[in-house]
Amino acid sequence: MGSLRDIRRRINSVKSTRQITKAMKMVSAAKLRRAQIKMTEARPYARKMEDVLHSLVSGVDRESHPLLAEREASKSLVFVITGDRGLCSSFNTNALKGADRLVTELKGQGKSVLASAVGKKARRHVRKRAFDVANEWEGLSGKVDFTVASEIARTAMSAYIEENVDEVYLVYNEFKSVTLQNVVAKQLLPIEATGSEAGSENMEFLFEPSIHGILDQLLPKYVEVQVFQALLESQAAEEAARMAAMENATQAATDMIGALTLEFNKARQATITAELMDIIGGAEAVKR
């Protein structure tokens, strides 16, 4: 059992930490509300556009546009999306583990893999693992906008169209709830078709002004929207994870303060008892 001064110093230290974690929780809660609004507003548009494009692609010639052209995959590009900061529980770790699993799977298929890091944690990870790094982005936490998403999407499309890679994947945390985030490994390029082949053969589309004009407009926009939605999902998931982590840290600090206070009271009681025994012993000695 430590001295009263040491215990009191530890209690004050933990109280200061609790104030910090409580403040960080409140900040994350405010950021989460803003991120959740953006993500919720964009999600229906992104999902509907994905459904429409997948159905449309199933009824057209795959060679009608460079972003649809399928070829034997020997080289893959993986975009790993994380945050720039820690203190968010397993948010970054889960995304990085998901990326590692995907890379291992692709290499197991005999493919070479390039990695693009979105976020400081992803950048450090791909460098530490000695991955072949294609591109890096930082400073996006809390600053996600469509301009950045377009830049990342254009990088992916250029690499695919120029045949530097044969397929492109996104790995990120999808926001499910404040307490749940799922890691998603999603193929971005080539754009996959939905529906059976038989159903696709029976489909007929009339394109105005032309199929190439429509695909030239829709397909790049689709890729940009999917990247933008992934960034928004990751941002909301990060703030949710950080808020939960700070709440747990605040509760742990409160529990520690309670335990230290109990230890302090026991130590003080032992000190008072010892002092009383000394006084009583001194009094008995005087009587003799």
d(CA 240, CA 177): 8
d(CA 87, CA 121): 12
d(CA 234, CA 216): 28
Task: Please give the share of the chain, as a percent, with pLDDT higher than 90.
Answer: 52
pLDDT value of position 30 = 92
Assigned architecture for domain 4-23+246-287: Orthogonal Bundle (1.10)
pLDDT value of position 276 = 76
3-state helix, strand, coil in the chain (%, to 5): 65, 15, 20
pLDDT value of position 207 = 66
Helix (H) or strand (E) segment spanning residue 9:
helix 4-57
d(CA 146, CA 231): 9
Closest to 7 measured CA to CA, from 238, 266, 283, 247: 266
For 28-244, CATH gives: 3.40.1380.10
Closest to 159 measured CA to CA, from 135, 131, 136, 132: 135
**CA 162 remoteness from chain centre:** 29
pLDDT value of position 70 = 81
pLDDT value of position 51 = 80
Q: What is the mean pLDDT of the chain?
A: 86
Helix (H) or strand (E) segment spanning residue 44:
helix 4-57
pLDDT value of position 192 = 77
pLDDT value of position 1 = 53
Q: Which ranges of the chain have pLDDT less than 70? A: 1-2, 59, 193-207, 288
> How many other CB atoms sit within 10 Å of the CB of residue 110?
8
> How many other CB atoms sit within 10 Å of the CB of residue 135?
16
Q: Which residue has the tokens 């790993």?
A: 80
**CA 62 remoteness from chain centre:** 33
pLDDT value of position 27 = 93
Query: Of the listed 35, 68, 88, 126, which one is catalytic?
Result: 88
Give the start-to-end residue ranges of the domains of the chain. 4-23+246-287, 28-244
d(CA 190, CA 167): 6
Closest to 22 measured CA to CA, from 238, 178, 249: 249
Strand, helix or coil at 89?
coil
Q: Which residues pair with 184 in a beta bridge?
A: 172
d(CA 242, CA 232): 15
The yes-or-no answer on residue 207 being catalytic is no
Cβ-based burial of 221 (10 A; exposed 0-12, middle 13-18, buried ≥19): middle
Over residues 234-285, the pLDDT tens digits come to: 999 999 999 999 999 999 999 999 999 998 888 888 778 877 777 777 777 7
> How many other CB atoms sit within 10 Å of the CB of residue 242?
25
